[in-house]
Structure 1
Amino acid sequence: MFANLSIPMNATAQGVDQFVSKVMTGAIAALLKRTEKLDVRVRAEPVAKLFHGSIDGFDFIGQGLLMHSGLQVDRMEFYLQALSIDFGALLRGQVQLRQSTQSSMRVVLTEEDLTAAFNASFLTEKLQQLSYGGQPLLFEKTRISINEDQFLRMQSWVYFGQVEQMLEIDITARLDFKGRRKLQFVEVTYGGDQRAIELGQMLTRHVNNLMDLDQFSFDGMKRRVDLLRLKDQQLTPYGVAYMEKFPQQHG
């Protein structure tokens, strides 16, 4: 993943935490296409226990993140209370877990982030699996907004059949998580004429089957949501991340 790293044989224990933080920051940055800020903090007492791969706490705070899938995130936080890693792998610039672990999680998505997600290819390609009257559908210019009553509104232009045939759908819904991992549109209302309503209902069913967090997590990681807040034009899920192995860069 990275060039081999080394620490001087006479390095003090106090310098080891900086070395570990540096390697873990690089490993996380490699998973992302772009970052505005990454803050990784490793805690161990005494610090010398890091030589054995034992970490008391690990905090990760990222801002302005862009995934390789095209998903952008305003803020992502993970807080681990204990972690066991292979120190020898760190010297090779790699992070390898000795055992599975879990962390508390907080993610902040703005209206801009959500709008970008529904216009990114990894989602639009899945939405194109829908058809209406035997004709394939093309969703474009999707806009996501969060109302003051904590409902989410989704507006999108839908093209079908000949390109000149298009219709705007307008969906307002409360968000929920089924089984702590599947994002659901519930208490849904639709705008427009009967055809727009039918397309909106079809899109709602498809999105409810599509938005599984496990499909959008890093390899080796599963996320579960315990609380979901919509406030100040932001969607903020709180929950737990289960990590069986440290994610690796692909491609």
Structure 2
Amino acid sequence: MFGSRNDLTNPTRSDWGERLLNTVASKTIRYLFTQSESVEVFVQCHPSSKLLQGSIDGFKMSGRGLVIRNDFRAEEVSFQTDAVAIDFSSVLSGKLTLKQPTQAVAQVILSEAGINHAFKAELVKKRLVNLSLPALSDISTSELVSFEAIQLKLLPNNRVRIWAKADLSNGELVPISLSATIAIERRRRLAFYDPKFEPDTVPEFQRHISETLSVVLAQVLDCMVDLDRFDLDGITMWLNRLETQGQQLIFSGYAQIERIPAS
């Protein structure tokens, strides 16, 4: 993704220190994730002799199939840092320690399948059960609702279609269907704007209550996806833009890296 791997194996282009740093950085970043299909780090350092003083021009990292906290999968993650000051002695002991914070341009690609798998995670499900309903005359016989079997489909122009089932405390099971526009809010949160009830998959006798519950589900989702819950220790990310492309949701932004987490 970022260039040839020859830099890592050709001694005329990369000295032992650069190769060692590539290896240590790749392993360090890989250990931040529950699973990873591949993680590659490329060091930019010209001349390479600067590395011995702990000064490098930057890192380029490319990762595929990265899983966070067992259930949150990113198809691809890439970033490129600004100039970095490191403690080279820590590299010799198999660690990566920054002497000062740095910033990185970042891109994250999620798949539709990965997003739907995340809805099954305990961290997500516990925020969707036994929710108090507002005072709605339409649902006067139920005080609580749980949303389950959520399925999301990515649509063009940053829109999504969402299906779910609402389990009311009075025993009624109501199908939910809505569409919404997703956007970034305050560079830290994913917001669901302009929710619209989609009645085509809902039985006619339940459409009125389903429309009411669709609004409730949209409000719940609007408060759920916040990067504060997913920051790694020492790394904070901000989002600049998002885009739906086929079955992928692509985020771009930047990260402030205070330190490289140990695990």
TM-score by length of 2: 0.83
1:96 equivalent to 2:97? Answer yes
1:145 to 133, 153, 165: 153
Deviations 1:160-195 (A, max 9, x none): 326x53222112111111111111001211234222
Larger radius of gyration between Structure 1 and Structure 2: 2
1:215 equivalent to 2:223? Answer no
Distance 2:166 2:52 in 1: 57
Distance 1:89 1:171 in 2: 52
1:165 to 172, 182, 190: 172
1:186 to 188, 193, 197: 193
Deviations 1:64-94 (A, max 9, x none): 1111241001111111131111222222322
Deviations 1:186-237 (A, max 9, x none): 1211234222222222222222222111211212221111121111221101
Distance 1:238 1:125 in 2: 28
Distance 1:205 1:186 in 2: 9
**Equivalences, count:** 236
Distance 1:58 1:234 in 2: 26
User: Conserved in 1, the CA contact under 8 Å of 2:28 and 2:96?
Assistant: yes
1:233 equivalent to 2:240? Answer no
User: Conserved in 1, the CA contact under 8 Å of 2:157 and 2:243?
Assistant: no
Which residue of structure 2 lines up, in the alignment, with residue 8 of structure 1? Answer: none
SS at match of 2:15: helix
SS at match of 1:88: helix
SS at match of 1:109: strand
Name stretches of at least 5 consecutive residues in structure 2 with no aligned partner.
Answer: 1-12, 134-141, 200-206
Pairwise CA distance, 1:48? 2.0
Q: Give, as a single letter, the amino acid of the residue that structure 2 aligns with 1:211.
A: V
Pairwise CA distance, 1:128? 2.4
Distance 2:85 2:42 in 1: 15
Pairwise CA distance, 1:157? 2.0
Q: Give, as a single letter, the amino acid of the residue that structure 2 aligns with 1:178.
A: E
Which residue of structure 2 lines up, in the alignment, with residue 175 of structure 1? Answer: 182
Q: CA RMSD in A?
A: 1.9
Which residue of structure 2 lines up, in the alignment, with residue 78 of structure 1? Answer: 79
Distance 1:150 1:129 in 2: 30
Distance 1:108 1:208 in 2: 20
Which residue of structure 2 lines up, in the alignment, with residue 4 of structure 1? Answer: none
The ranges of structure 1 where at least 4 consecutive aligned residues each deviate by more than 4 angstroms after the TM superposition are none
Pairwise CA distance, 1:129? 5.7
Which residue of structure 1 lines up, in the alignment, with residue 144 of structure 2? Answer: 135
Name stretches of at least 5 consecutive residues in structure 1 with no aligned partner.
Answer: 1-11
Pairwise CA distance, 1:13? 7.2
Task: Please say which of residues 48-57 and 126-135 is displaced more in the overlay.
Answer: 126-135
Evaluate the alpha carbon distance shift between residue 78 and residue 13 of structure 1 in structure 2; reply closer, same or farther with a 3 A threshold: closer
